[in-house]
A and B are shown apart, each in its own frame.
Chain A
Amino acid sequence: MGVATVSPSWRTLTAVWAGKTAGVASRALRRGGGTAIPGLVALRVAPRLVAELRTQLGHGSVIITGTNGKTTTAHMLSSVARGAGYRPLHNRTGSNLMRGIATALIDDVNLVGRLPEGERRLGVFEVDEATLPEAVAALAPRVLLFTNLFRDQLDRYGEVDSIAARWRGTLSAAPESMTVVLNADDPSVAALRSVARGPVVLYGVDDKKVALSRPEHAADSRWCPDCGREYRYRMVFYGHIGHWRCPGCGQARPQPSVWARRVRFDPESGASLTVDTPAGEASLALKLGGLYNGYNALAAVAAGLALEIPLAAVQAGVSAVAAAFGRQERFEVDGRRVQVFLAKNPAGLNQVLRTLAAREGKKRLLLLLNDDIADGRDVSWIWDADFELIAADAVGTVVSGRRAEDMALRLKYAGLSPAPPVVPDTGEALSMALAQTPAGETLYVVPTYTAMLEVREILARRGRVAHYWEETA
C-alpha cells in the first residue's frame, strides 16, 4: 500500500500516554472494560489522534455502518483479514463512536506511538450510523460498507430520513478512491450509489425460496423518496429488504455483482450460501442462522473482495466465524443449552423471532427488556415486532429487565397464554427459565443491548461458553 506513514506528533504521543494511563486506571478501578475511556481522554488532548495514527495502518481500513449487522459483519471481515495474513485492528463491540475507534488504536500502539507490524495492519471499524461523517473524515477508509437502514431508537438517532441525509452528506465529501459497498436489496442503502464518488460494489440475495409472501410490519422504506410512490416488491426477504421497484419513476433494485443464488438454512447449525462474485463462485457454510446473517456474510464477501483479498481467503474467513458477542452466542449451564439472540429494534427482533419460529418444536424463552440510553428510552418498538410468530410454540416464557411489564403485556396481546411471569432480577429470571427447560433442551434468551451485557456476564459465570466446534465435532 502506498500510504505515507506520518510520525505521531508530540500532541498525539501525549494523548496516547494519557489514554493508556486512563485505561490502566479504569481497569484497576473496575470501571468497565476500558473500551471507551482511553479514547475519550486521548481525544480531549489530541482531537486529530485518529487521523494521525491511522496512517500507520499498512492496508488502510474498512468502515462498517448501518442499523443492524455491524458487529457480526466486522467479525467476519476481521476473520477474512486474518486468513489473508493481515493483522486486523478493530474496535470492540459497543464502542463504535470516535472514542471507541481511538481506544482501539491507542491499545495497539506502543509508548512511542508506533503500531507494531504496521505494514500488516488493516483497520476494521464498526461505526455508529450517526458518527459516520466524523469517522470517515478521520480514517479516510479504503472501503465503506453500508448494511441496512431501519428505524432504531428514534429517541436517540432521530428519524430514518435524517440518518439517510447524513450518509449522503458523508459520501459526497469522501474521496474518489474510496470504494462504497452497498446492500442492493435495501432501497435507502442502494440509493446511496448515486452520491458515491468512487467505485461502488453491490450485494444482494436472489433466491425466491427464502422470500416472504408480503412485507413485514417493520418495513421502513416503503416509499420512493423521489416520487413518493409505494415500492412494489417481486420478492421480500425481511422488513423492506428485497427486490424492489418504484412504479412511479421506474427506479429499481440494481443488479448486484455479489449475490446469493441459493440460500439454505439448517435450523440447528446455520446456513449455506452459493454466491456469485466477479472473482468466481463462492460456497459459504455459515455457523450462524437467519437470513440476516446471510446478508452479513454477503456484505463481508463484497467488502473483502473490494479490499483485494483473494476469494478463497474470503470464503474461508467468512465461514469460520462463530457467534459474535451476544449474537446467537451459545452457553451451557447445568446441562441446558442457552443461546443468546441480541435484539435491539423491530427489524432485528423480527429476524430473531423468524429464526426461532423456523426451529422445530416448543421454544423456551427468556425475554429481557431494558430502557437504558443504549437500549433506547422508548420501549414502544416492541409493538412493531411480530411476537405472534412464536406465540403458539412458546412454553414457560419468563420476562425480566427494567421494562419487563411492558414485555409481558406485549406477549399477552400476542396471544401467549398464560401471560408470562415478571421476574425483576435477571439472575432469578434466568434460574426460573432454566428450571423450566428440560435437560438437553435449549433456552433462548432474547435481550436488549444492556440486558445482553448483564445476562451474558451471569451466563459466563454460571456456565461455560459452548463453542461451535465442540458441538459439531
Chain B
Amino acid sequence: MKLAVRLAHLYPKLMNLYGDRGNIICLRRRCEERGIALEIDELDLGDRLDPKRYDLIFMGGGQDREQRRVGPDLIDVKGGALRQAVEEGVAALAVCGGYQLFARYYRPATGDDLPGLGIFDAWTEHPGENVPRCIGNVVAEWQGDTLVGFENHGGRTYLGAGAQPLARVRVGYGNNGKDGGEGAVYKNACGTYLHGSLLPKNPRFADYLLRLALQRRHGDIELAPLDDRLEEEAHAAAIRVASARQ
C-alpha cells in the first residue's frame, strides 16, 4: 500500500499571517521526495470537515479581525469534527492565532472573549494594549532537540492540567514569558507560537508530524532520510541569531 497523508488546511486564505504557507510547502516537498502521496483539502468558511478523512490538520495565524471571522465557523461548523478527530489521534499543528483558537478562549484587551475549540486545556489573555507584545526570535527545547522560530503575539497563554507545553523556552517568551512553556500538546495535536516558517527550519519536527500523520492508516513508519544540510544550517543560524540578540 502506497503511503498517503490527507491534510486538512483550515482557512488557508484567512489564517496566513507570517508565511504560514511555508509549512505546507515544506510538507509537500518532504512527502514528494519520499514518494508519500500528500492530498491537501483547503477548508474555508462554511466547509464541513469529515473527522474520519484526515491524517493531519493544519491551521495558521491571522490578525484579530480574521480570528474573529473564523472563530464562530471553527466552533459551529467544524468544532465537533475537529475535537473528535484529535480525540481519535489525528495529528494537528496550530500556529499562533490558530493555536489560540484551538485553546479554550482568547480574552482581548478590550471587548468580548473569543471562545475557542477547547482542544487544548489552555487560555489566552491580552494584558492590555500598553503592555509590549512578545516579539522576537525563539529557541526552545523539544524532545532533547531544539525548535527555532519567530514569535509575535500580544496575548499570553496559560496551560491547565490537561495540556502539556510543547517545548521549553531557551530564548524568547513562549506562551506567556513567565513559566518557560512554549506551545501545547494534547494527544497528537500541537499548538505553538513559532512561525518563521516553522517546519522548513525544523525538519525533525516536520518529520515527527509526518510520522504521527502516517500512524493513523499505516502504523509506525520509518521515514527515509533526506538531504537536510541546508535545513540544518538554517536551524543552526537561527539559534546563533537568537542567542546573539538575547
Chain A residues packing against B (C-beta within 8 Å): 151, 154-155, 159-161, 217, 222-223, 225, 228, 230, 371, 377-384, 402-406, 408-410, 412-413, 419, 422
Contact = CB atoms under 8 A, between A and B. Distances in A.
A409 B231 contact: yes
B109 to A, nearest CB: 12
Interface in B191-243: 195-197, 200-201, 230-231, 233-234, 236-238, 241
Interface stretch (B15-23, B34-42, B75-83, B182-190): B15-23
Contacts of A160: 63
Contact of B196 (A161, A225, A380): A380
A223 B69 contact: yes
B118 interface: no
A408 B19 CA distance: 16
A376 B14 CA distance: 23
A390 to B, nearest CB: 16
B150 interface: yes
Contact of B152 (A378, A384, A405, A422): A378
A451 to B, nearest CB: 15
Contact of B234 (A381, A383, A408): A408
A379 B17 CA distance: 12
Contacts of B200: 383, 409-410, 413
Ordered nearest first, which 7 A-B pairs have the shortest CB separation? A383-B19, A383-B22, A380-B19, A405-B234, A405-B237, A380-B18, A159-B63
B19 A154 contact: no
Contacts of A155: 135-136, 150, 152
Nearest to B45: A230
27 contacts: A159-B64, A160-B63, A161-B63, A161-B65, A223-B66, A377-B136, A377-B150, A378-B150, A378-B152, A380-B18, A380-B196, A381-B18, A383-B20, A383-B21, A384-B16, A384-B21, A403-B241, A405-B234, A405-B237, A406-B234, A406-B237, A406-B238, A408-B234, A409-B231, A412-B230, A413-B25, A419-B230
Contacts of B21: 217, 383-384
A228 B65 CA distance: 9
A412 B229 CA distance: 11
Interface string B53-96: 00000000001111001000000000000000000000000000
B196 A379 contact: yes
Contacts of B52: none
Interface of B: 13-14, 16-22, 25-26, 29, 63-66, 69, 135-137, 150, 152, 195-197, 200-201, 230-231, 233-234, 236-238, 241
Contact of A154 (B18, B65, B236): B18
Given A406-B237, A408-B234, A378 B18 contact: yes
B20 to A, nearest CB: 8
Nearest to B14: A223
B150 A403 contact: no
A377 B26 CA distance: 22
B69 A228 contact: yes
Nearest to A412: B230
Contact of A161 (B64, B195, B233, B236): B64
A51 to B, nearest CB: 28
B230 A383 contact: no
Given A161-B63, A409-B234, A381 B69 contact: no
Nearest to A158: B133
Contacts of B236: 405
Contacts of A410: 22, 200
Nearest to B129: A162
A405 B17 contact: no
Contacts of A419: 230
B218 to A, nearest CB: 25
B15 to A, nearest CB: 12
- Residue from B136, B201, B233 whose CB has the most chain A CB atoms within 10 Å: B233
B25 A383 contact: yes
A168 to B, nearest CB: 15
Contacts of A154: 17-18, 152
B197 A405 contact: no
Given A161-B65, A381-B19, 10 more contacts: A217-B21, A223-B69, A377-B150, A383-B19, A383-B22, A384-B16, A384-B21, A406-B238, A408-B233, A410-B22
Contact of A409 (B63, B69, B201): B201
Nearest to A217: B21
- Residue from B17, B19, B25, B152 whose CB has the most chain A CB atoms within 10 Å: B19
A26 B238 CA distance: 34
A409 B238 CA distance: 12
Given A155-B135, A379-B150, A419-B230, A403 B197 contact: no
Nearest to A377: B136
A409 B135 contact: no
A384 B26 contact: no
A21 B234 CA distance: 45
A117 B129 CA distance: 46
A134 B226 CA distance: 53
Nearest to A408: B230
A230 B135 CA distance: 30
Contacts of B234: 405-406, 408-409
Contact of A405 (B13, B135, B137, B230): B230
Given A161-B64, A409-B200, A382 B136 contact: no
B241 A402 contact: yes
A147 to B, nearest CB: 21
A154 B18 CA distance: 9
A406 B69 contact: no
Contacts of A228: 69
Contact of A371 (B17, B233, B241): B241
B201 A413 contact: no
A154 B14 CA distance: 16
